[in-house]
Structure 1
Amino acid sequence: MPDPTTKRRAYIDCFAGASGDMFLGALVDAGVPFETLESELSKLGMSDYTLSHSTTTKHGITATKVDVLAQEGHVHRHLSDIVDILNASSLDQDVKNRALAVFTRLAEAEANVHGTTIEKVHFHEVGAVDAIVDIVGTVIGIKHLGIGHIDCSALSVGTGSTKGAHGAMPIPVPAVVAMCADVPLRRTEIPKELLTPTGAALLTTFADSFGEPTTFTGDTVGYGAGTRDLDEIPNLLRIEIGDDTSLAGTETDEVVVLETNIDDMNPEWFGYVGDRLWEAGAKDVYVAPVQMKKGRPGSLLTVLCDASNTDAIKRILLGETTTLGVRQTTMTRTILPRRHATVSTD
């Protein structure tokens, strides 16, 4: 396998949601040799499945479909069973660790939904051989392609209900909602489960950011096909891969920028308002002089915050200042890593 530290970057476009087999198909389509995937997966020590791949077309787009045909019956596994399978395998330790991170994220979500502990969670569909192969195979594919950073689009989800081990469930299913608590979802009217628990676990474990990538030029594109044929959109997952041209040693994140122009408030009040905004979780607050209508001097009050704090910040701006409205935009920041340390100045 290539050196996992190779600086390659991927952008995953989930316009039709995501599942484990779609992720695996996209990686094969983007250049992971199928023979390499088979060889590495054989190290799992699980022989009760058959792996195959084929070329298919969805809405005129050529894609790769990867299928895992399992011979085992319906098996319920605990997280400890997955740990035993991974530990007993001859997989690279990095692959083991990253695959376990995906299953742990799934277990935490299921435990949250069912009010239990991760040790007591039963993996149903996700504990089956095909899901294990999808997850481990995806980790192998990411490592093989040398992908060190993953950006992801908003995750498309369907509507309606689906049947699972616990009976009828709303779409998206509760475990998916739990894993995507801080992830932008693109809700559609498609009456199908577009985003599966396996797909959500893979993306929320490995994606470094959700939104449009910055300073990125893709030189390779792969399409992974899902099983269903959808009328509304092609049932595909797209991955674009290219060199990481971002600034070395930096990170990117998304912030909400809230702004308002004020020309009829005592400037001394900005100090009080700023304190309230900081207490509400603002990342930055600043005031700049501006010229407003009829040449009147005014102030531009700008606040940077996380999306989760937006409503609280807006309530303060509308309630504690004289403004009648607030502008809102979402921006991507490039930042240096930050840490706290205690130093001696003697």
Structure 2
Amino acid sequence: MILYLDMMAGIAGDMFLGALVDLGVPVEWLKGKLSGILHGFDLRTEIVFRHHLRAVNLFVDVTDDVTHRHYTHIRHMIESADLPEKVRDNALEAFRHIAQAEAHIHGKDIETVHFHEIGGVDSLVDIIGSFLALDYLGVDQVAATPIPLGSGTIKCAHGTIPVPVPATVAILKGLEVTGSDAKTEIVTPTGASLVATLKPRFGGMPDMQIEKVGYGAGKRDTGASAPNLLRLVLGSPAAAKDCGDNILSDQVAVLYTNVDDMSPESLGFAMDRLMDKGALDVSFTPAFMKKNRPATRIEVICRKEQLKDLANVLLAETTSIGVRYHLCDRMILKREPVAVETRLGRVTAKKITSPNGEIRIRPEYDECKRIAREQNLPFYQVYEQILAESNPLDR
């Protein structure tokens, strides 16, 4: 699924989580998941209207008065929590962004830095809850408007400081920002860390079929012309053209380059970065360049709107000084995500329909890897068992 962040009035952790609840993430489900990790809080929501637009206003009611926590304490808490691997990794990265910013600003080592407001249970709920909600919705691609910033000053634990606050500015390094007419803080360090971790493609809304729209409400008067709302648009990739016989046609971008001076380890890392950035596929092919130099041809398939971002990754992560690309029509079999119940648990898979109408179910690699790790089983056994249990002849 694709998630588009329309940050008309900035972003804060409670706004983001409220908008995700508006997209359909159950509050009770969130509370249940978070209660196994955190204590001393409750979640509640109310419906509010800003400029006549309906939105979810989310509150984290805290009974745990501890607001100062060291980064090492938070990191250990997340590492030991019962969370999906992707949720855990994202939560750790979000707090690492904050810790690195605070450590630099205050001239401390990252391992000893402590958080003030950001160390409270409400911030932990906002960050961990947001990544749980994204996992619940099946989000695997994120795009966003440039991040608008406010102006003026605010009071915090360190006194009166300028807006955007130093931690927010530090976290937003490398991300696309813009000005606004807001007279106060509209991007909090928590909100900035969420965006930095999601690494969205900045720009207009990507090609997709819109399925849901959610609004999360901010709590302060920003003095801006835009309502204090965060809008999230959830959708699936734009539908491919139906060619009949269960065959679809769409258009993708293909990028390729040759390199002759990279180690296998560096090539492997480049592939990981390309896949993390949303590539549909990455392949390496042995090649020979001028003067018979052995080389590797790197080919990347991606959505058209991802072309620039993935070209940047190729040029940044490889020794290439140029990338060739073209748009390519392709035909693909009909496929859709499904959840199948097996003796190993509930598994996400692809349902593929052949031209003759035959159905095949193929489990997702990441799901098999997760189960293999959790149950200490060989990967091939997990894959084969899921395959056997999810492919009845009459499916």
- Shared fold by TM > 0.5? yes
Alignment equivalent of 2:82, drawn from 80, 90, 100: 90
Query: Which residue is equivalent to 2:275?
Result: none
**1:137 deviation in Å?**
0.5
Query: Which residue is equivalent to 1:149?
Result: 141
Alignment equivalent of 2:166, drawn from 174, 180, 183: 174
Change (3 A) 1:239 1:251: farther
Q: Matched residues in 1 for 2:80 and 2:180: separation?
A: 42
Query: Which residue is equivalent to 2:5?
Result: 12
**1:209 deviation in Å?**
1.6
Is contact 1:250–1:334 with CA below 8 Å preserved after alignment? Answer: no
**1:244 deviation in Å?**
2.6
Do structure 1's residue 233 and structure 2's residue 226 form an aligned pair? yes
- Residue deviations 1:309-339, cap 9 Å, x none? xxxxxxxxxxxxxxxxxxxxxx973746746
Q: Which segments of 5 or more consecutive residues in structure 2 lack a partner in the other structure?
A: 240-249, 256-305, 320-395
Higher relative contact order (CA 8 A, sep 6+): 1
Q: Which segments of 5 or more consecutive residues in structure 1 lack a partner in the other structure?
A: 1-7, 253-330, 342-346
Q: Secondary structure at the match of 1:18?
A: coil
- Residue deviations 1:150-199, cap 9 Å, x none? 11111111111011121111000011111112222221232211000000
Do structure 1's residue 33 and structure 2's residue 30 form an aligned pair? no
In structure 1, give the amino acid aligned to 2:168. Answer: V
In structure 2, give the amino acid aligned to 1:97. Answer: D
1:53-132 equivalences under 5 Å are 53-132=45-124
Is contact 2:253–2:307 with CA below 8 Å preserved after alignment? Answer: no
Do structure 1's residue 51 and structure 2's residue 27 form an aligned pair? no
Query: Which residue is equivalent to 2:194?
Result: 202
**1:233 deviation in Å?**
2.1
In structure 1, give the amino acid aligned to 2:25. Answer: V
What is the TM-score of this pair, normalised by structure 2?
Answer: 0.60
Is contact 1:218–1:240 with CA below 8 Å preserved after alignment? Answer: yes
Is contact 1:154–1:210 with CA below 8 Å preserved after alignment? Answer: yes
Q: Secondary structure at the match of 1:239?
A: strand
- Aligned-pair identity in percent equals 36
Q: Matched residues in 1 for 2:88 and 2:26: separation?
A: 20
Q: Matched residues in 2 for 1:100 and 1:250: separation?
A: 33
Alignment equivalent of 1:220, drawn from 212, 218, 226: 212
Q: Matched residues in 2 for 1:334 and 1:79: separation?
A: 32
Change (3 A) 1:248 1:241: farther
What is the TM-score of this pair, normalised by structure 1?
Answer: 0.68
Q: Matched residues in 2 for 1:178 and 1:332: separation?
A: 28
Q: Secondary structure at the match of 2:65?
A: coil
1:290-301 equivalences under 5 Å are none
Is contact 2:46–2:56 with CA below 8 Å preserved after alignment? Answer: yes
Q: Secondary structure at the match of 2:178?
A: strand
Change (3 A) 1:122 1:332: same
Q: Secondary structure at the match of 1:333?
A: helix
Runs of 4+ in 1 over 3 A off after TM superposition: 245-252, 334-341
Q: How many equivalent pairs are there? A: 256
**1:245 deviation in Å?**
3.9
Is contact 2:185–2:222 with CA below 8 Å preserved after alignment? Answer: no
